[in-house]
Amino acid sequence: MAAEARDRQFLDPAVVARLGTLELKARTVVEGFISGLHRSPFKGFSVEFAEYRQYIPGDDLSMIDWKVYARSDRHFIKKFEEETNLHCQLLVDVSGSMSYGSRGISKFEYAACLAASLGYLMHRQRDAVGLTAFSDHIVDALPSSTRPGHLRNLLIALDRIQVGSRTDVAKPLHQIAEAMTKRGMVVLISDLLDDPDAVVRGLKHFQYRGSDVLVFHILDPDEIEFPFDRATRFEDLETGDEVVAVPGAVRDYYLKQMGGLIDRYRRELGAAGIDYQLLNTSEPLEMALLAYLSTRSRTA
């Protein structure tokens, strides 16, 4: 019941999608999320990622904030401006399949809102954030930065991106990994509707280059539940190919295949030390932010 009560505090993604500018959406999600953390059992996050970092053996004990320790039972020290913060690159899939949406928001709109919210949160915590949009090639790229005006440039770039061509997740991943010059964190936001072997190899490439990886697997509820109950014409959003199917005849096979794909990503990425989070587009964006902070905490 406690988890359900927390979920009800968050905005429906379809409502967020109608708020207006991407900046307004991101600010609404993040400020509401931070405010909720202050009132929730997770309030330590809102301290740790704003002005403090966790104590590391070897730090000067005199720098520990004992007031924070009294509230949280955890050791934190005040962060200084000159400390090196995280460098994070947001990788957003903009291939044709991301345009599907059944609940008032498409997978791409959800991914864009999530990327904008993550960028806003990272900027708020003085972390350097960059953006790369890709389909079967790199569509747009913005290097990570903390410079004034950078967040606005990132949001503008996200707002201008259009979904388009076919999926080839692995090829752009390798290109991006080879071009990276700084270690940090890579956050992939994609429906992962591609060859899982190639995708996993591409993500491992970032680890080889010294970066931590977090994957948000974005799917529409229709893709997870397959709720169709009458003869339906299905269209491939990347090729335009169509097929008519009777859902009752293919549902079990489809659900087995989709469930197998999700389980495979969860298992193989987990075994590789890559954080994996399945999200459907009806779930509040705040759930993803909490997953990001959890990863950020472990890898800081």
Strands (E), 135-250: 138-145, 185-190, 212-219, 232-235, 242-245
Angle 196-208/170-179 helices, nearest 10 degrees? 10
Please check whether residue 201 lies inside any domain of the structure: yes
Residue 8: pLDDT above 60?
Answer: no
Q: Does residue 157 sit within a domain? A: yes
Q: Average of pLDDT values for 29-42?
A: 69
The pLDDT of 252-279, averaged and rounded, is 95
Which structural domain, as residue segments, surrounds residue 144?
84-299
> Which CATH number belongs to the domain containing residue 258 in this structure?
3.40.50.410
Domain total for the chain? 1
Copy the structure tokens of residue 267: 């298992």
| Domain-located, residue 50 | no
Q: What percent of the chain has pLDDT over 90?
A: 46
pLDDT above 60 for 84: no
How many C-beta atoms surround the C-beta of residue 105 within 10 A? 21
- How confident is residue 176, by pLDDT bands cut at 50, 70 and 90? very high
Q: Is 239 within the bounds of a domain?
A: yes
Does residue 16 form part of some domain? no
pTM higher than 0.85 for the full model?
no
Confidence of residue 77 (pLDDT cuts 50, 70, 90): low
Amino acid at 276: Y
- Whole-angstrom distance, CA of residue 68 vs CA of residue 66: 5
190 lies in some domain: yes
For residue 124, is it within any domain?
yes
Neighbours of 181 (CB within 10 A): 7
Residue 243 has a pLDDT of 82
Three-class SS of residue 278? strand
Is residue 226 in a domain?
A: yes
288 φ, ψ to 5°?
-70, -40
